[in-house]
Amino acid sequence: MNNKNKRNEGLKRSRIAIYSVIFIIILIIGLYFILSKSNNVGVAVGDIAPNATFTLINGTKINLYNFHGKYVLLYFIVTWCETCAEGLHILSQIIPTLASKNITVIVVESYNDLGYQGIPLNEFIKSYANSNITFYYGYAN
């Protein structure tokens, strides 16, 4: 019985040690995520957006700072994405309403279509956007 008690006592200590190590690891990971969130840099609602440069389909470069003081809706797409196509179709229907509220729309193709093959941007726009509207469209640099 004495050996059995010693063995049980040893197992109990081993379990406590393992649980303690697991607890400490979870605590460290949790603290890392909590503290790293406070260091994230982002843009809150109402903040001025950081500058970005886009190349329009005709080669002209535009900066977000050119629209300082104005409302801008950036719609990022990839040309192989069905949801992006549907979104562009819907967006193109409401662009006149947005324009009446002085909201500029810029449709931006994500760099290199995020590495997947898609149709050329001008074909994508012709296929899914209302042809009677005017908006900016181009590429992320």
Mean pLDDT of 74-92: 92
The pTM of this model reads 0.65
Residue 5 scores a pLDDT above 80: no
Look at 46-50, 57-61, 71-75 and tell me which has the smallest mean pLDDT.
46-50
pLDDT for 2: 67
What sign does the CA torsion over 33, 38, 40, 46 have? positive
23: alpha, beta or left? (left if phi > 0; alpha if psi -120 to 50): alpha
53-140 carries CATH number 3.40.30.10: yes
DSSP characters over 104-127: EEEEEEPGGGGGS----HHHHHHH
66's tokens: 């050119």
Residue 88 scores a pLDDT above 90: yes
Mean pLDDT of 67-87: 91
Which residue type occupies 5? N
Each residue of 91-138: pLDDT tens digit? 999 999 999 999 999 999 988 888 888 999 999 999 999 877 788 898
